[in-house]
């Protein structure tokens, strides 16, 4: 266990559904991340939050909406997704200090969009 938890672990949704992914870190970190991992593609960074403020949006479509209410919690709200959005969604956290940038990953949510 890395100290980063994600729920749900598996999710099947239709294209008209609205769902949310949740991430929680118990490491006292101040930076949190959402990544997408599709088959045969490198891990893609989606969003970065430092001290609850979004500092990176990697050209992610608006059907993905992140929310970071505090440094320990991160959400990814999903609506009107497409089948190509099916992937493993990974949350990570790190300490935003030089020399302590190691990111620790949660177990991921495997998403299937029908």
Q: Which is nearer to another protein, 5 or 17 (by Cβ)?
A: 5
With helix as H, strand as E and coil as C, how does 59-104 read? CCCCCEEEEEEECCEEEEEEECCCHHHCEEEEEEEECCCCCCCCCE
Q: How far is the C-alpha of 89 from the C-alpha of 108, rounded, in Å?
A: 5
Does 59 bind another protein (CB under 8 A)? Our answer is no
Q: How far is the C-alpha of 58 from the C-alpha of 47, rounded, in Å?
A: 6
Nearest distance from residue 2's CB to another protein, in Å?
7
Q: Which two tokens stand for residue 24?
A: 């929680």
Does 31 bind another protein (CB under 8 A)? Our answer is yes
Among the candidate windows 15-23, 61-69, 71-79, 103-111, which touches another protein by CB under 8 A?
103-111
Q: How far is the C-alpha of 62 from the C-alpha of 81, rounded, in Å?
A: 10
Single out the residue of 48, 68, 81, 87 in contact with another protein (rule: CB under 8 A): 48
# binding residues, another protein (CB under 8 A): 24
- Please give the radius of gyration of the chain, using alpha carbons only, rounded to the nearest integer: 13
Among the candidate windows 13-21, 70-78, 79-87, 92-100, which touches another protein by CB under 8 A?
92-100
Residues at the interface with another protein (CB under 8 A): 2, 31, 33, 41-43, 45, 48, 50, 55-56, 88, 90, 94, 96, 99, 101-108
């Amino acid at each position: 266990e890395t100290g980063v938890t994600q729920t749900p672990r598996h999710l099947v949704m239709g294209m008209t559904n609205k769902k949310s992914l949740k991430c929680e870190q118990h490491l006292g970190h101040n930076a949190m991340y959402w990544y997408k991992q599709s088959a045969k593609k490198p891990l893609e960074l989606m969003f970065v939050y430092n001290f609850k403020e979004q500092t990176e949006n990697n050209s992610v479509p608006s059907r993905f909406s992140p929310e970071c209410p505090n440094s320990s919690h991160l959400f990814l709200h999903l609506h009107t997704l497409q089948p190509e959005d099916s992937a493993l969604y990974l949350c990570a956290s790190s300490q935003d200090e030089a020399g302590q940038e190691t990111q620790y990953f949660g177990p991921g949510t495997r998403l299937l969009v029908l």
